[in-house]
Chains A and B, each alone.
Chain A
């Protein structure tokens, strides 16, 4: 062990700063370090400097050309979604001879739908809808962004899973037992995560998240901390 390593072990304050910047602390440690940061200006300054350095690390990856078919697929999807969004955002009175009536009725229906289903339209230009999730027994917020049959789960300031655990996503259809969505995720130091759900949401009534032992499990072993009601 070098002298520098020995010194760093002797210094408690700041000992976690680099691991935190690399998102390499265990969840409980990260939570404790976040609390420490609120009171320690020295660590905040060091963290800011090291986060800038971590931000440069992607450039250390050997550079590869992007396969052309990936660009084609992405562009095809976004242009399609853009067209759909534009069509949806066109005022109703421009599409119907019953201009004022249809516009008013349409607006009322959209409002009613959003309230009844608990769905918030994410803006007239967005092709997706956002469904707010219930967060149970944990702090934080979560939402599911649904586009077609695909979903993307976004969490903010979520309590990290206990040590040795990871969050696992489940899909529930009607009365059937939840099945794994094949998604495991942890949260960043700030409790954020943004995960795409690889399986179709067609027929799914609930999306749930529960903390499970690292590596995931085939069936939930704990109560869900996030529940998104789709139907």
Chain B
């Protein structure tokens, strides 16, 4: 006979994220552990992509998950999946960390070289794809016209506003907004055809 704790843990492993968050709200650390194990690698990869520094990404992920643990009661399932919630918190913290770093460097807007380094997503130690979905999203992004992909990456992974991107790339702000819209719309059509977004 398996000990009671193992049985409970096995049940947690198969529970839906949303149900686990109900337990997290009640301070159930083991439920949070399961949520962490499901999403921490994606969170770290996102933070690494934004910060461009392993150490900074580790800090961001650690702080983000501790904040999620302490604020589990604020998760509202009506506003989206647990994964989307977690990744949005990591995204916001990653962008904040990036801006703090830029502030320390005394730059209002980084030079283009720095921005491009971040936007390029140089990955060392990249894992073999564990999820086909990730490969398909990356492929859809890569298939966009380069000028559209670039503005989307600078905004999302670099945390730049359209005005900052316009100055960086010497474009009219309206052109940047237009490229964002065209790029995201094309991306949505591709991902929708793949069944990855509604």
Contact = CB atoms under 8 A, between A and B. Distances in A.
Given A18-B181, A19-B177, A182-B100, A56 B196 contact: yes
Interface of B is mostly: helix
B41 A63 contact: yes
A231 interface: no
Contact of B197 (A2, A18, A53): A53
Interface residues of B, number: 88
Contacts of B12: none
A55 B80 contact: yes
Contacts of A186: 96, 99
A194 B69 CA distance: 13
A210 interface: no
Given A9-B178, A77-B66, A126-B27, A214 B108 contact: yes
B96 A184 contact: yes
B27 A184 contact: no
Given A18-B177, A18-B184, A50-B184, A194 B89 contact: yes
A59 B133 contact: yes
B70 A24 contact: no
Interface stretch (B1-9, B13-21, B160-168): B160-168
Contact of B181 (A8, A122, A152, A194): A8
Contacts of B100: 182-184
Interface in A1-56: 1-2, 4-5, 8-9, 14-19, 21-26, 49-50, 52-56
A186 B92 CA distance: 9
A75 interface: yes
B46 interface: yes
B175 A5 contact: yes
B71 A58 contact: no
B182 A58 contact: no
A66 B40 contact: yes
A183 B45 CA distance: 23
Interface string B17-30: 00000000111110
B61 A64 contact: no
A67 B58 contact: yes
A202 interface: no
Given A60-B138, A154-B71, A184-B100, 14 more contacts: A15-B178, A18-B181, A19-B155, A19-B162, A24-B180, A59-B138, A63-B41, A64-B125, A67-B54, A70-B40, A71-B40, A74-B40, A125-B26, A196-B67
13 contacts: A9-B175, A16-B177, A18-B181, A25-B161, A53-B188, A53-B191, A54-B184, A55-B84, A59-B42, A63-B41, A63-B130, A70-B44, A70-B58
